Amino acid sequence: MDMSATVVIGTQWGDEGKGKIVDYLAERADVVVRYQGGNNAGHTVVVGDQEFKLHLLPSGILYNGKTCVIGNGVVVDPKVMLEEIKSMQAKGIDTSSLKLSNRAHLIMPYHRLLDEVEETSRGDFKIGTTKRGIGPCYMDKNARSGIRVCDLLEPEEFKEKLARNLEAKNHLLKAVYNTDGFDFAEVLKEYQEYAEQLRPYVADTSAILHESIKAGQKVLFEGAQATLLDLDHGTFPYVTSSHPIAGGACIGAGVGPSKISKVVGVVKAYTTRVGEGPFPTELHDATGDLIREEGHEYGTTTGRPRRCGWLDACIIRYAGYVSGIDYMAITRLDILDKLPMVKVCVAYKYNGKIINEFPASLNVLSRVEPVYEELPGWQQPTSHIRSYEDLPLNARRYVERLSEVSGIAIGLVSVGPGREQTMILA
Ligand code: GTP
């Protein structure tokens, strides 16, 4: 796999296992970059018998000596970032190669509170935010009132921007949500302390990446969330506030599209969705329950059961062209080991006709009828298998059929959380 500048993205609604794939590819990279989202992402990486939960730091942090970049497109909660650095250091991880973009926007205490009160006020129309202030922080960035990391390092600039923002937010909180706001001196003191702790990490990360690519280093861009959660291309409004598709890497890291050499799309061998919104291949039966139990498909923070369904090749095809995916990394194939048969949705029917595009309208998406192909299951364990040829024939047929229908090559197949449970095909 040519790795000179590779973007890894999720193709479905998230929780595909990007953490494991990024970790696997990070081993061969020199630089690992986060380019969007914030601490609403949650990768789980298993190294030997240790489990690491990463929210903000790039997965490359788990390998010593890799430059790890938090790009300008990420929104950064300094408190969370510093806590994560400390927790990694406590586990013996070296964080000295971490770089934080001076152009990244800061999550402030009022962003977290606004996230909560706004979501509560939506009543039955909740978006399903993680209430960590991500959405309100991106709103301020777009409104051009946000505060950036470079401002934090300039005391007078920060004071002035904090005063202006706090006045507006405290007014909004009181007038609209009848909620008390924040004390200027307290927030200032808290963030002044963060400034000194973060200072050693702050850099012009776009310039660093430019030099790395020029020097022939291998750069890995690590997407968080997934295609159907993209602000423009996802199932709006049940989306995130940033751009998890591959193009987001260019904006969120400050790298030109001509420098991206490969795009890898992570595909879970079935589909899950958290929260509300249409889900054409959703299963409301014993098979759905079996997938949920075998795959422990419960929210990591909320413990809420995830909605489970058959693999939907219409989604993968769509993800394929909005991100220009070169290879699929298929994860969690082992979760389907016990099923006597498996289904792939190969097309949607709407009003009796096959439709080729993934619908923009959620009304249409909620009414499409999946056209399934049924394939025989393999009904034998796969987690111990280390080479693609050794996979049961029916398991290979399943992933190869997905590749045919979606028009995307298979690059990697994963049959367990461990680094060694990964087979490379391309
Ligand atoms: P988001 O960024 O929140 O979408 O998460 P993610 O896509 O990084 O998923 P995450 O890594 O949090 O969760 C996936 C879970 O599946 C983790 O516990 C992984 O260790 C595990 N996992 C990854 N690949 C496989 C696999 O092939 N088989 C099994 N059984 N588990 C896997």
Residues in the chain, overall count: 426
Look-up: residue for tokens 């990420």?
Answer: 74
Look-up: residue for tokens 């291309």?
Answer: 233
- pTM for this entry: 0.94
DSSP-derived letter for residue 278 is -
Q: Whose CA is nearest to atom 22 of ligand 1?
A: 417
Active-site residue 43, yes or no? yes
Q: Which residues pair with 72 in a beta bridge?
A: none
- Ligand 1, residue 421: give the atom nearest the CA: 27
Active-site residue 15, yes or no? yes
Q: Compute the distance between CA of residue 161 and CA of residue 193 in angstroms, rounded to an integer.
A: 17
Position 123 scores a pLDDT of 76
Q: Which of 43, 292, 328, 412, when mutated, tests ligand 1's pocket best, judged by the most ligand atoms within 8 Å of its CB? A: 43
Say how many Å lie between the CA of residue 241 and the centre of ligand 1: 22
- Ligand 1, residue 10: give the atom nearest the CA: 7
Residue ranges of the alpha helices (H) in 33-148? 78-90, 109-121, 134-142
- Ligand 1, residue 269: give the atom nearest the CA: 27
Look-up: residue for tokens 């059929």?
Answer: 401
Residues 407 and 318 sit within 8 Å (Cβ to Cβ)? no
Q: Compute the distance between CA of residue 52 and CA of residue 93 in angstroms, rounded to an integer.
A: 11
Say how many Å lie between the CA of residue 225 and the centre of ligand 1: 12
What is the separation, in whole angstroms, between the first and last Cα of the chain?
Answer: 6
Q: Whose CA is nearest to atom 29 of ligand 1?
A: 416
Residues 17 and 110 sit within 8 Å (Cβ to Cβ)? no
Provide the residue type at 402 as one letter.
L
DSSP-derived letter for residue 162 is H
253: tokens are 């890291």
Position 156 scores a pLDDT of 96
CB-defined site of ligand 1, < 6 Å: 10, 14-20, 41-44, 46, 224-226, 331-332, 334-335, 414-417
The pLDDT tens digits along the chain (426 residues) read 556 899 999 999 999 999 889 989 998 999 999 999 998 877 777 777 888 888 899 988 988 889 999 999 999 999 999 999 999 999 889 999 999 999 999 999 999 999 999 888 877 777 777 789 999 999 999 999 999 999 999 999 999 999 999 999 999 999 999 999 999 999 999 999 999 999 999 999 999 999 999 999 999 999 999 999 999 999 999 999 999 999 999 999 999 999 999 999 999 999 999 878 999 999 999 999 999 999 999 977 677 899 999 999 999 999 999 999 999 999 999 999 999 999 999 999 999 999 988 999 999 999 999 999 999 999 999 999 999 999 999 999 999 999 999 999 999 999 999 989 999 997
- What are the φ/ψ torsions at residue 170 (nearest 5 degrees)? -60, -40
Quickly count: other Cβ atoms within 10 Å of residue 395's Cβ: 26
132: tokens are 């960590």
Q: Strand ranges (DSSP E) for 156-230?
A: 202-203, 219-222
Say how many Å lie between the CA of residue 46 and the centre of ligand 1: 10
ipTM: 0.95
Helix, strand, coil shares, percent, the chain, to 5: 40, 20, 40
Using CA atoms, how far residue 288 sits from 336, 360, 401, 410, in Å, is: 11, 26, 21, 25
Residues 13 and 312 sit within 8 Å (Cβ to Cβ)? no
Position 379 scores a pLDDT of 97
DSSP-derived letter for residue 45 is E
Provide the residue type at 18 as one letter.
K
Residues 132 and 37 sit within 8 Å (Cβ to Cβ)? no
DSSP secondary structure string, 294-351?
A: HTT-B-TTT-PBPEEE-EEHHHHHHHHHHHT--EEEEE-GGGGTT-SEEEEEEEEEET
Provide the residue type at 163 as one letter.
A
Of the residues 23, 43, 230, 334, only one is catalytic, namely 43
Look-up: residue for tokens 């889900």?
Answer: 279
Q: Compute the distance between CA of residue 107 and CA of residue 358 in angstroms, rounded to an integer.
A: 34
Residues 87 and 108 sit within 8 Å (Cβ to Cβ)? no
Position 1 scores a pLDDT of 53
